[in-house]
């Protein structure tokens, strides 16, 4: 119950009376408790998800942030009239034009804002922010408020990037794995066929690699594989494709390259490997590679055609003595 009282005087009566009012506020209290519990749950959820809530008054241009927004951006509470300019200073300059265009389109279309951008905090740290917002309109259907939230998704994006890397990269050498290489080779094959451009494919592996493992041990063999990848990546262009497709087997696709230039690249790589010495686990290991090379032909209907020719050329290089480049 809620009870209130106040003094009452009656004209001509010397006595002072007290008026009491009693109200049953059970339902009101229950509503308050429910609202409080909801607010506590919301607070826990926004803390756990690293979410800040904001409101932008489009009529006064005042921007209001809750405390979590200030924590998110690592800035002290600021006057609402100055907050928008401060926010613009923290958005990454490469992302700011696109973000402001998205906000303007959302207000004009009276729809939902859903965008991502980078911010640079005062300590120099770069974070990735996901922003959601919705426009509110008045009785005349004129936008007057934008209410939204910001969420720091940096760790989520980093984890996604790491998973993508793990899914496409050989964990030992850092080269593209077989699935990633074949996927990109298929795309490049279709592009070359469509636009009638050139492509050279190299298939290579380490000569007598089993002997290296048996003589020096598998950890030393792993170091030889890593060294070969370093040599390949430093010899090839950044536009070329390169991947580990088997134990000691690698392939490279030289983009917009004719067979003569491809032969020069393959021979240069073969010589670099032959001259390399790998210091590992107290041993110095020298090794060689065999390379099969072929160019895309008009009659090739699929990547299997060019892959088979490159493998046949590699087999011929090994059969004829290893440490050489063979073209088919």
Q: Find the radius of gyration of the CA atoms of the chain.
A: 35
Listed residue (284, 60, 304) closest to 312, CA to CA: 304
Q: Enumerate the β-bridge partners of residue 326.
A: 292
Phi/psi for 177 (5° steps) reads -80, 175
Residue 173: count of CB within 10 angstroms of its CB: 20
Q: CA distances (Å), 120 to each of 73, 84, 129, 315, in order?
A: 8, 15, 10, 54
Q: Which position has the token pair 């792993």?
A: 222
Q: Is 248 annotated in the active site?
A: yes
Q: Which residue has the tokens 């279309």?
A: 109
* Identified catalytic residue from 55, 160, 248, 299: 248
**Which residues on neighbouring strands pair with residue 149, listed in sequence order?**
53, 132
Q: Measured between alpha carbons, how far is 91 from 116 in angstroms, rounded to an integer?
A: 11
| 182 contacts: CB under 8 Å, gap ≥ 6 | 243, 245, 303
**Residues near 23 by Cβ (< 8 Å), separated by ≥ 6?**
1, 2, 3
User: Tokens standing for 119?
Assistant: 């911010």
Positions marked active-site: 248
């Amino acid at each position: 119950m809620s009870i209130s009282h106040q003094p009452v005087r009656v004209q001509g009566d010397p006595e002072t009376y007290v008026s009491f009012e009693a109200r049953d506020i059970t339902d009101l209290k229950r509503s308050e408790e429910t609202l409080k519990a909801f607010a506590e749950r919301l607070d826990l959820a926004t803390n756990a998800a690293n979410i800040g809530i904001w409101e932008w008054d489009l009529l006064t241009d005042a921007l209001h942030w809750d405390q979590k927004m200030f924590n998110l951006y690592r800035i002290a509470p600021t006057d609402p009239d100055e907050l928008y300019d401060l926010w613009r200073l923290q958005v990454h300059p490469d992302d700011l034009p696109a973000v402001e265009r998205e906000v303007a389109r959302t207000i004009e279309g009276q729809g939902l804002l859903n965008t991502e951008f980078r911010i640079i905090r005062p300590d120099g740290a770069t974070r990735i922010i996901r922003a959601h917002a919705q426009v509110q309109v008045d009785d005349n259907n004129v936008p007057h408020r934008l209410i939204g939230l910001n969420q720091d998704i940096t760790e989520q994006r980093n984890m996604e990037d790491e998973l993508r890397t793990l899914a496409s990269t050989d964990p030992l050498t850092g080269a593209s794995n077989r699935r990633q290489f074949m996927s990109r080779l298929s795309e490049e094959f279709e592009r070359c066929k469509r636009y009638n451009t050139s492509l050279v494919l190299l298939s290579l592996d380490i000569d007598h690699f089993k002997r290296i493992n048996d003589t020096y041990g598998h950890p030393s063999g792993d170091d030889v594989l890593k060294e070969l990848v370093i040599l390949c990546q430093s010899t090839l262009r950044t536009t070329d494709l390169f991947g580990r497709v088997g134990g000691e087997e690698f392939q490279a696709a030289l983009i917009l390259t004719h067979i003569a230039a491809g032969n020069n690249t393959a021979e240069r790589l073969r010589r670099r490997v032959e001259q390399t010495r790998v210091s590992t686990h107290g041993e110095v290991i020298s090794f060689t590679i065999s390379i099969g090379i072929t160019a895309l032909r008009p009659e090739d209907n699929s990547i299997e055609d060019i892959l088979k020719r490159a493998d046949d050329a590699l087999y011929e290089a090994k059969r004829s003595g290893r440490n050489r480049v063979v073209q088919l």
